[in-house]
Amino acid sequence: MRRTALLASATLLTALLPLGAAGTASGADDPAPVPVDRFEGEVPFAAQPAEGIFTWGGDSDDPPTLALTAREDAPEGDKVLTGGYDISGYGGFTHDFAADRPAHDWSAHKGIRLWWEGRNTGKKIPFEIKDGGANGEASELWTTSFTDDFTGWKQIELPFTDFTYRTDYQPVGGIDQVLDLTAMWGYALTLPVGLKGDFAMDDVELYGKADQSLRAWVTTDAAVYPVKEGRTADVRITVATTGSAPLDEPVTVGYTTDPTGTATAGKDYAPATGELTFPAGTASGTARTVHVRTLKDRSAESAETIPLKLTVTGAKPPTDTPQVVVDAHGLPYLDTHLPIKKRVADLVSRMSLAEKAGQMTQAERGAMTAPGDIATYALGSLLSGGGSTPTPNTPAAWAKMIDGFQLRAQATRFQIPLIYGVDAVHGHNNLTGATIMPHNIGLGATRDPALAERTADVTAAEVRATGVPWDFAPCLCVTRDERWGRSYESFGEDPALVKSMETVIQGLQGRADGRDLDRDDKVLATAKHFVGDGGTAYGSSTTGTYTIDQGVTTVTRSELEAVHLSPYETAVDRGIGTVMPSYSSLDVVGDGQGPVKMHARADMLTGVLKGRMGFDGFVISDWNGIDQLPGDNAAHVRASVNAGVDMAMVPYTYKEFTGTLVDEVKAGRVTQRRIDDAVSRILTQKFRLGLFEHPYADTSGASRIGSAAHRAVARQAAAESQVLLKNAHDVLPLSRHQKVYVAGSNADDLGNQTGGWTITWQGSSGDITKGTTVLDGMRDAGGHVTYSKDASASLSGYDVGVVVVGETPYAEGVGDVGNGNDLELTAADTAAVHKVCAAMKCVVLVVSGRPQLVGDILGETDALVASWLPGTEGDGVADVLYGRRPFTGQLPVTWPKSEAHLPINVGDAAYDPQFPYGWGLTTRTKVSRGGLGTLRALAAAAKAADRRGSDRLGREAVTAARLLVQQRIGARMDEAVAKPFAAADHAVLRGRYGEAVSELTRAYGAVGR
């Protein structure tokens, strides 16, 4: 059926189609409709850079099937677009315009419309348009939706004024967040999830005349105007247009103070009313100011609100009604001279149950599509999950974003500031251009607690300078199985090593009593993940395709205390401010409980952590962690809060959590005492951070983010984290006079060397931030370097080869071995090693978050380096390769011979690794000469150091003994040698130097037996 025939009989059409299907009548001065898609074959099924229609989805089953199908009832032409779908994750299709041609200008039209054959599913169908940017896949996404609640063909009209900027996903992070419509790249349609079906659509076109309210809008300079009692609030009202063009038509803004606020007209403020006119021809950006005068009395009061209602004609009104807020004043909790404990008690006594529930709630910034919810639900906290960043991703944009959220909190009765948190686990890793440190596994390899503290100093300073006062770090897990996708977040497999590196807590927070938390370079730290997350059994995870992460840790009580709990005792002694429970379950042998999720273990969270250890901070759940508990939502809330969770990280379900928590208290299933305890703990940290007095970002330190001084610390950490596993014929250090051939997948990939939790949650390969790769560092060192990633360039004429191999980024259970990952080098990396090492002396660097299996290449390498994930400063790796700094790192975990040997850890009854825990050759000094006689002398010196309590002398004696023993061992490693060698390093970390030398002497004597 031709379109001309359809339009010939409007009466017949109206009778045949559902009510409203014929669309709206066009005005006489409306431009003619402009076709976008007729689906007659004029647009092919193709992808960028050509113009075309293509499908996409969350997995292989999600992309729909598409076809151009001839239909007698086609609303336009002969064919329609049809498709079938069965979507479990997400899926849909896109029409992108050709990337090598100019974008389209849609600004003359009112909106976009299409014909849809309804199936009456009741499902919403999101429809996106692509605005600005370089092409259809690098543009801003603007979205609206329509509901399939009809049967048969219906023309769906989508005015451009209905489209909103997507806050949950932007492929390029946004451009200017203004729907200009002058450079459009196409559209996309998302099909409903959880529904198997088919669809048909036809004739996508632009319609109607553009509404000035799409091109002109009225804004206020803020959503909230806090003002001291008796002062005047100045509300600046601005009119702006797309492209900064003058107004075509007048815009009027009526204003009136709204008596529905909590302030009383005539008592708390002088009513204000009037109208502002912006005539046609007014320049974009023109502003007028409305003054709201508050009145002063002598009583102490909580904050009071005065909404300023705006009525706009001729332009789009502000998203929110601006509110003037008369600041709270005269109340004890605001008195900085009172002890924090008294301020907290006073504030808690004034709060309603709903306000307390709000303080116990943390939402994701991406969920704040309605920022007014911060005040409506009295939210206590927001966070940025991995990769959740402002646009642009700059320090200034972070500060502006967080200040905007903090401003919303000022519209609450008691103006309790938000506490904003991020996962800055190796530097401010969400921020482009920040200083990225080695991951914890690399810091553990340094065996340098003072340096670890300095890395945390830098992290804290860079995080706080962007307005973030809270860091979800450090991870105090004791990694016991390198198949775990989080193993690089651990300092190592030995609890004594983890405890020694907890100097990072002071680097983040300052002094243990919390006195430094209000400084502009310190943040609240989080010990995670309590408790036993590093001990989960392989195959015990029930989370999706994870194999070990979020699984079950089965231990005896003594193992739990000695291995997994002991780092938390140290953290509490160091004044840790918050603790995060693990996703994993704990099964303590003999306690009769079986496996219980940590978010529900009251015996651990309340009994051990808060009770026995005396932890006085607050417990924050992991991301949606309470949802993994048995039962319905009420059961999740009840079990977690009663177990000791003080604040719930419920990224997108904050409304449900607060409402359910209130209901549980009213029903008597959660006590008011438990609520008051939780809120008191949260408020105590907010007071310690100085947020009540200074809620907004102090950006005075922003200029130091990514500075040379900060990068120098990261460079040193990268250098000290390098572990020299083998160095036959002293091939290392390199000389700048040598001709060096560099190959391997990780030689020149900043994303691979920084790993997961870098810019995004999972991290990614490539130039994702600012830094130097290993190859850059070698070139910076002045060496004569040639690079061929796959070793395909000629191999002749070189003195030595350096092959940099290893892993690509991952995080958490996504990186579990068995979940699409293993510990083998890739075929390409292995081939590069074979080629280079067959042609010349060679050094192999393994850039990874955990040991890789190197048995197949070990014999052909002259030198082997565990390079871990060194961060953004590849110059630090080059420093040790070229001898600017010596190799001093030691293995923080046991390096296995095969996957079958896992788990393998220091102290195991059977212990036969490729390299033992603590192994690490050095280029610092020459090894002491001698044999058992030298070791006996060193043992005597170590025992004397034990008696005197001299750590320095003890460590010097052990280091000399260790180097001597390593030289004797060489390649003759076996179980008899490895066990005492690893035990020696464990003894060092406990300050038992004489015992350490004795173990090393045992290892020496076992060589060659």
The residues annotated as belonging to the active site are 622, 812
Structure tokens at 402: 């967080």
Q: Classify residue 157 as exposed, middle or buried by CB count within 10 Å of its CB (0-12, 13-18, 19+).
A: middle
What is the number of alpha carbons within 13 Å of residue 600 lying toward its C-beta? Answer: 20
Residues 6+ apart with CB under 8 A from 346: 331, 332, 333, 338
CA distance linking residue 474 with residue 339, whole number of Å: 29
- CA-to-CA dists, residue 685 to 402, 515, 576, 692, angstroms: 18, 11, 11, 11
Rg (C-alpha) for the chain, rounded Å, is 32
- Is the peptide bond prior to 49 cis by the omega test (within 30 degrees of 0)? yes
Torsion of CA 886, 890, 892, 895, to 10 degrees: 110
Judge whether 777 and 876 are in contact, CB under 8 Å.
yes
What is the number of alpha carbons within 13 Å of residue 202 lying toward its C-beta? Answer: 24
Residue among 327, 313, 310 at smallest CA distance from 220: 310
- Cβ neighbour number for residue 822 with a 10 Å cutoff: 13
DSSP 627: G
At residue 324, the 3 state secondary structure works out as strand
Residue among 553, 661, 499, 678 at smallest CA distance from 605: 678
Phi/psi for 319 (5° steps) reads -60, -40
Residues 6+ apart with CB under 8 A from 632: none
- Cβ neighbour number for residue 171 with a 10 Å cutoff: 14
Residue among 681, 516, 706 at smallest CA distance from 605: 681
Judge whether 423 and 472 are in contact, CB under 8 Å.
yes
- Is the peptide bond prior to 192 cis by the omega test (within 30 degrees of 0)? no
Judge whether 92 and 55 are in contact, CB under 8 Å.
yes
What is the separation of C-alpha 803 from the centre of its chain, rounded to a whole number of angstroms? 31
Range 247-256 burial, b when 16+ CB lie within 10 A, else e: beeebebebb
DSSP 940: H
Residue among 646, 111, 52 at smallest CA distance from 380: 646
CA distance linking residue 96 with residue 188, whole number of Å: 8
- CA-to-CA dists, residue 290 to 253, 286, 308, 318, 892, angstroms: 11, 14, 10, 15, 63
Range 286-303 burial, b when 16+ CB lie within 10 A, else e: eeeebebebeeeeeebbb
Residues 6+ apart with CB under 8 A from 558: none
CA distance linking residue 139 with residue 134, whole number of Å: 6
DSSP H/E element including 41: none
CA distance linking residue 190 with residue 206, whole number of Å: 20
CA distance linking residue 791 with residue 773, whole number of Å: 18
Beta-bridge partners for 201: 81, 116
Structure tokens at 270: 């002088």
DSSP H/E element including 888: none
CA distance linking residue 23 with residue 598, whole number of Å: 56
